[in-house]
Structure formats: C-alpha cells, structure tokens
Amino acid sequence: MPQRALNLPDVWAVARAMRQADRREIFATRFDEDARLLAEDLMACDPVGAVITSADGAAVATLGGIEMWPGTWSLWMFATDRWPEVAKETTRFAQHVLWPALLRLGLKRGECRSAFDHETAHRWLSFLGGEIEALYPAYGKGGETFIGFVIYGEMNMCAVPKKRRRLSTNSGEAAPAANIAPAADDMVADAASEKELRRLRALYGRRATILTPERTALGQAPVVQKNLLGS
C-alpha cells in the first residue's frame, strides 16, 4: 500500500492542494486559512495516521486521529483532487490499519464534524461505519451548518469479535454455550494485552504511531478482500 508516516512536508503539500470541498469545510472552523499553519497544528497534536501517496509518489491524502482525552478521538481526512486515485487504498488503510491501531490505543469513541454540503465526505464516513449523531447549525465562522458523525469502539468499521478456541466436531467435547463466561486463559490474555498497551504508551507516549517500528504492537488487522469505495 503506498503510504508514508505522517510528516510536516507531506501534510502541508496535501493541505496546499486540498479539494475545494475540504478547504471550505476545514477553514470554516479555523481563525486562519493558512495551509502551512493547518499542517503545523495537526502535527503538533501528535496524531496517529499516515499519508497516502499516488503511484508516482505524490502525497494525495492524509488521515488520522487525535486523542482529545482518554478514549475519545477526533478523526480527520483531507485529500487533493487526485482523490479517486487513492480512494481504495485510503479506505483500506482506514479499515485495516488505522482503526485497529486506535482500538488498541483505547478508543471508545471516534468523532468528526463535516460540512453539510460535503456529500463526498458523508458517503465515505457512512461507508466506514460512521453514524449521524447531530446537526450543528451555524457551526462554521460563516454560519455554515455541520453534521456530526460518530463511530463507537469495536461496534463498527473493520472490528470483529475476539476469536476463541473452536472445538472440533470430532473431538467428543461439548461446544460451550453461547453465553458462557470467558475462560480464565482468555481473561489472562486480555489482561496481558492491556498491560502491554500501557507499557507502549508509557514508553512512546502519544508519538507512537502506526507506521513507526512498534507498528505490530499497536496493531494491524489482516487485509480482507472486499469491495471498497472507489474499487
């Protein structure tokens, strides 16, 4: 997948050449309309995410999440007019890399606000599992109405239930009831995962991103073949 770790030059490049709909949406909620300051502000918030590039290596889209407080993240994405070239790759990255990483970092709620007339963004957010939560009249500095989207924890996007040991039909063992409590070894494994997550956060802080060497520890779900937006 053509991607690079978040970095100021690439984020600035995408911001300078943003789609007009993205530009109107983003700058409607800022005091300035400076692409450089936007990129600097994003990078100063220690975001978790990536830059998606085209076949020729140009930065076309950037996306990620910013932890506002424990468990609650602000999700964002903007792209240039070359978005159709990377729509499929960006969607796959959001589903199979970014979302699992945010879950492992403790996300319980991911939210974003999109301009009322940015229909392309609304379709993409809905495809990823975003639900409309609220309407925000006069939210932008020019009186623009925004729509609030939310995604809750492991309920949406690419999340799947934790797999547990499956008994063979030929083993002679009775299958557990559907509502049986987790086994002791399952709970120990879950506790160990939580302990490792806390260790990583203490070691790397909020700057531990999904494209740094600890990517495996932060999590990457397997890529599943399915029809994605733009395919």
Encode the chain in three state secondary structure.
CCEEECCHHHHHHHHHCECHHHHHHHHCCCCCCCHHHHHHHHHHCCCEEEEEECCCCCEEEEEEEEEEECCEEEEEEEEECCHHHHHHHHHHHHHHHHHHHHHHCCCCEEEEEEECCCHHHHHHHHHCCCEEEEEECCCCCCCCCEEEEEEEHHHCCCCCCCCCCCCCCCCCCCCCCCCCCCCHHHHHHHHHHHHHHHHHHHHHHHHCCCCCCCHHHHCCCCCCCCCCCCC
Nearest residue to 184 (alpha-carbon basis) of 209, 156, 164: 164
Sign of the Cα pseudo-torsion (187, 190, 192, 194, in order): negative
Higher pLDDT, 156 or 68: 68
Distance CA 80, CA 23 (A): 10
Distance CA 74, CA 52 (A): 19
**Domains in the chain and their CATH numbers?**
3-159 (3.40.630.30)
Partnered with residue 80 across adjacent β-strands are: 18
pLDDT category at 2 given cuts 50, 70, 90 is: confident
Nearest residue to 118 (alpha-carbon basis) of 96, 147, 88: 147
Which among 132-136, 162-166, 216-220 has the top mean pLDDT?
A: 132-136
Whether the per-residue pLDDT at 6 is higher than 70: the answer is: yes
> 219 with 104: CB under 8 angstroms?
yes
pLDDT category at 226 given cuts 50, 70, 90 is: very low
Residues 103-118 have a mean pLDDT of: 96
pLDDT tens, residue by residue, 52-92: 999 999 999 999 999 999 999 999 999 999 999 999 999 99
In this structure, the chain runs to a length of: 231
Q: Say which range, 114-118, 128-132, 174-178, 201-205, has the weakest mean pLDDT.
A: 174-178
Per-chain mean pLDDT for the chain = 79
For the chain, the distance separating the N- and C-terminal CA atoms, rounded to the nearest angstrom, is 14
pLDDT tens, residue by residue, 8-42: 999 999 999 999 999 999 999 999 999 999 999 99
**55 phi and psi, to 5 degrees?**
-60, -30
Q: Strands 146-152, 131-136: parallel, antiparallel or unpaired by DSSP?
A: antiparallel
Distance CA 123, CA 126 (A): 5
Looking at residue 217, what is its pLDDT?
Answer: 42
pLDDT category at 124 given cuts 50, 70, 90 is: very high
Predicted TM-score (pTM) of this structure: 0.70
pLDDT category at 224 given cuts 50, 70, 90 is: very low
Looking at residue 152, what is its pLDDT?
Answer: 94
Looking at residue 168, what is its pLDDT?
Answer: 42
Whether the per-residue pLDDT at 184 is higher than 50: the answer is: no
